[in-house]
Amino acid sequence: MGTLDVINPRTGQADHTIKPASCEEVAGKAAALREAQPAWEAMGVEGRCGVMARWLGAVKARAADIGEADAHDTGGCHTSYLQGFITMGNIGGWLEDAPKAFAALEYDEMSPSMPSVRVQSQVVAFPLVGVISPWNAPLMLALLDAIPALFAGCAVLLKPSEITPRVIETLFETVREVPELASVFDYVTGAGEVGQAVIGEADTICFTGSVPTGRKVAVACAERLIPCHLELGGKDPCIVTETADLERAATAVLRGAVYATGQVCYSVERVYVHESIHDAFVALLVEKAGDVRLNADDPRAGHIGPFTHGPQADIVAGHIADAVEKGARVLCGGQIEEIGGGRYLRPTVLTGVSHDMAIMQDETFGPTIPVMAYADTEEAVRLANDTNFGLTASVIAGTAEEAEAIGRQLNAGGIFLQDTFLTFAKMRTFGSDSFGWSGHGSPRIGPESLRRFLRRKSLLTQTGEVADIRNDHHLGEGA
């Protein structure tokens, strides 16, 4: 098989290549991981914590390089430069949480329904977890699943996006410094067919990506009767009420919509504003949007970068064109700019939008902010819930109580009140479920997410006499 060019999002030029793995290579890596996994599981969670602590040290030593590689992949998103530290936080968090999560799964009690029977639990890891990850936040979205799977005692075979493979290569330089870990954690590169080959080898799959690919992954897993956990797209609404502080609302909406060029699954993708403040809110939003700078001159300066995947710009431009054709007005931004070979879009505020437009229905994944007026809370809730997705939603109101009352009516897994973009705050605490097309399977964060990688066995011991079938009587018989 030949090589695949990898494009630099800042220049539009290929500056890297990968060699897609053949089916035989995927099978060979899967077999080697399976062979090493029993020893990894037999170490117990405390033993694995010792190995992962050494890996944490290796990541710490290379944190800056990891950040640079992630920025190279994405085009210089602010979060990219923090990826080394975010990975350290991910490993460090599980070092504390994994032993507690295992302890919470233990059970050793007499059965309430058959009091002479002792019931003990045993958890057994799925031997091989396949992780298939997307191009936005390429490291974080690979490790959100891979790290807890490793702590659970599984081996992990990762298939990162072919569009952003560099940061994974740098990460695995740190993995190879810890041989016990390297024996159970590996990756293969390539496009969709390599993802399919991973599904063909694994015992369970974690997939993050788009809805159409998620469907294909679900079908392939169904054919093999293996579990799959899907984290898919979003069309996340934000409601701004009549009583909201305009300054707070405009600031939160702008950041929530354009951070990382809007290429975040929980970006604000549509805004509903009470009609009485609509014009003032939009004016303030446009004013603030005008201060957002591109990072075209320097990846570390400016607020938003190029599209990580150049063709994504065409999808976003298509949504804007569709909206304009159907009557929307573009108040700022709106034009894809080619600078030095990178493709950029400034924050794009649209008004006059409606739910027959793609920009209000399909995931845009760009720095667009379509704003629609509503008359009363009932209408705002109805519009916010008028979607196939249900990843996150935000409400900004005069008080937290008012925001909460509305938030409780919204169909999404993460509800952000008085701000947007709060997903990070629930790391290590509670996982949440997605609604609609946004996801399927158990939560991927929080201690309970470890459960995705474990099967629980029950060991049932009869401590009393065994039943003698000859003493069984039908009701009314022999009494």
Instruction: Rank residues 234 and 347 by Cβ distance to ligand NDP and give the closer one.
Output: 234
Applying CB under 6 A, does 133 fall inside the site for ligand NDP? yes
Site for ligand NDP in 292-321 (CB under 6 A): none
Ramachandran angles phi, psi of 208, nearest 5°: -125, 125
Question: What are the respective helix, strand and coil percentages of the chain, to the nearest 5?
Answer: 45, 20, 35
> Per the residue annotation, which of 265, 269, 363, 402 is the catalytic one?
265
Applying CB under 6 A, does 442 fall inside the site for ligand NDP? no
Per CB under 6 A, the segment of 41-49, 209-217, 404-412, 414-422 that binds ligand NDP is 209-217
Applying CB under 6 A, does 129 fall inside the site for ligand NDP? no
CB 448 within 8 A of CB 431: yes
Applying CB under 6 A, does 449 fall inside the site for ligand NDP? no
Distance, CA of 209 to CA of 80 (rounded, Å)? 18
Applying CB under 6 A, does 159 fall inside the site for ligand NDP? yes
Among 84, 195, 367, 446, binds ligand NDP (CB under 6 A): 195
Q: Would you call 206 a catalytic residue per the annotation?
A: no
Applying CB under 6 A, does 265 fall inside the site for ligand NDP? yes
Distance, CA of 270 to CA of 370 (rounded, Å)? 5
- Measured in whole angstroms, the distance separating CA 77 from the mean position of its chain's CA atoms is 17
- Measured in whole angstroms, the distance separating CA 386 from the mean position of its chain's CA atoms is 22
Rounded alpha-carbon distances, angstroms, from residue 113 to 109, 110, 116, 117, 235: 11, 9, 9, 9, 47
Nearest approach, Cβ of 179 to ligand NDP (angstroms)? 27
Q: Would you call 49 a catalytic residue per the annotation?
A: no
Applying CB under 6 A, does 270 fall inside the site for ligand NDP? no
Instruction: Rank residues 87 and 208 by Cβ distance to ligand NDP and give the closer one.
Output: 208
Helices (H), 385-454: 400-407
Applying CB under 6 A, does 388 fall inside the site for ligand NDP? no
Instruction: Rank residues 162 and 402 by Cβ distance to ligand NDP and give the closer one.
Output: 162
Sheet architecture: strand order including 368-374: 329-332, 348-351, 368-374, 268-274, 236-240, 392-396, 414-417
Per CB under 6 A, the segment of 161-169, 170-178, 300-308, 379-387 that binds ligand NDP is 161-169
> Per the residue annotation, which of 68, 201, 231, 363 is the catalytic one?
231
Nearest approach, Cβ of 300 to ligand NDP (angstroms)? 23
Instruction: Rank residues 163 and 171 by Cβ distance to ligand NDP and give the closer one.
Output: 163
Report the interhelical angle of 83-105 vs 140-152 (nearest 10°): 30
Q: Which residues contact 311 (CB under 8 A, 6 or more apart)?
A: none
Residues 312, 318, 324, CA angle at the centre, nearest 5°? 145
Residue 331 corresponds to which tokens in the numbers above? 């108040």
Instruction: Rank residues 144 and 403 by Cβ distance to ligand NDP and give the closer one.
Output: 144
Interior/surface letters 224-246, b for 16+ CB within 10 angstroms, e for the rest: eebbbbbbbbbbbbbbbbbebeb
Applying CB under 6 A, does 431 fall inside the site for ligand NDP? no
Among 145, 162, 180, 402, binds ligand NDP (CB under 6 A): 162
CB 338 within 8 A of CB 192: no
Applying CB under 6 A, does 333 fall inside the site for ligand NDP? no
Instruction: Rank residues 20 and 153 by Cβ distance to ligand NDP and give the closer one.
Output: 20
3-state SS class at 375: coil
Per CB under 6 A, the segment of 88-96, 99-107, 189-197, 447-455 that binds ligand NDP is 189-197
Per CB under 6 A, the segment of 39-47, 60-68, 129-137, 252-260 that binds ligand NDP is 129-137
Distance, CA of 27 to CA of 29 (rounded, Å)? 6
Distance, CA of 168 to CA of 190 (rounded, Å)? 13
Nearest approach, Cβ of 244 to ligand NDP (angstroms)? 27
Distance, CA of 444 to CA of 145 (rounded, Å)? 7
Site for ligand NDP in 217-256 (CB under 6 A): 217, 231-234
Applying CB under 6 A, does 132 fall inside the site for ligand NDP? yes
H or E segment to which residue 351 belongs: strand 348-351
Per CB under 6 A, the segment of 122-130, 188-196, 299-307, 372-380 that binds ligand NDP is 188-196
Q: Which residues pair with 369 in a beta bridge?
A: 349
CA-closest candidate to residue 436, choices 389, 382, 391, 384: 389
User: Mask of contacts with ligand NDP, 347-386, x by CB under 6 A?
Assistant: ----------------x-x---------------------
Among 94, 126, 135, 307, binds ligand NDP (CB under 6 A): 135
- Measured in whole angstroms, the distance separating CA 16 from the mean position of its chain's CA atoms is 26
The site for ligand NDP (CB under 6 A) is made up of: 132-136, 141, 159, 161-163, 191-192, 195-196, 208-210, 213, 216-217, 231-234, 265, 363, 365, 391, 438-439
Q: Which residues are catalytic?
A: 231, 265
